[in-house]
Amino acid sequence: MAHTYIRFDFGTDEEKAQQARHKLDGWRQAFRLDKRVQYKLDRPEGTAVESAAQPEAVEKAAGGASKSKEKTATKAAAKGAGKSSEAAGAKPEAATNGRVSLLVRLYFSSHEKLSEQRWLQRIPSEEPFKSASPKMIQQGDAEFEATDEQFEAISGSVLSGKF
């Protein structure tokens, strides 16, 4: 199975990068593209990266948290869901002042060539992606190996798609 990468450079516009991430999540859920379309946010300066798995990692790092504390925290989070979503939207801007790029990997099997071609055309043509100077990197390209290694090296920013 061959795969293709699309790199989007959002510059310092964290909000556009988050909109693009959200749009990809919607497509992954709506069209059941869990393994076929994967993405990672890349921040070259090595700053903090937002992910869906991040709260779980924080809980694992705490280690000694009791179940009653977790239940209380869950109830408090449910009550303040509106406030926490606004705060979460403000955190990425505060956390990073550098460049943000989105690396999307399309991983379709050989009998799904038409679907792959449609997604290769659709993703860069949609609004949050248009202004991010999309660059297609296919398997025969010179920078494919470096991009593939970079995609695997970026940790913590892939969303699992499990809700």
- Structural domain boundaries of the chain? 4-153
> What is the per-residue pLDDT for 15?
94
Per-chain mean pLDDT for the chain: 74
pLDDT surpassing 70 at residue 95: no
Look at 7-11, 60-64, 97-101, 146-150 and tell me which has the smallest mean pLDDT.
60-64
Distances (CA, A) of 22 to 26, 62, 63, 76: 6, 29, 30, 25
Token pair 């925290």 is at which residue? Answer: 73
**What are 3-26's pLDDT values in tens digits?**
899 999 999 999 999 999 999 999
Q: How confident is the model at residue 45 (pLDDT cuts 50, 70, 90)?
A: low
Model pLDDT, residue 66 = 40
pLDDT at 1: 60
Comparison of pLDDT for 29 and 83, the residue scoring more: 29
Short-list 139, 65, 143, 154, CA closest to 106: 139
Helix axes 81-95, 67-79, angle to 10 degrees: 90
Confidence of residue 47 (pLDDT cuts 50, 70, 90): very low
Q: Which of 46, 39, 36, 35 is nearest to 8 (CA)?
A: 39
What pTM did the predictor assign?
A: 0.65
Dist. CA 20–CA 26, nearest whole Å: 10
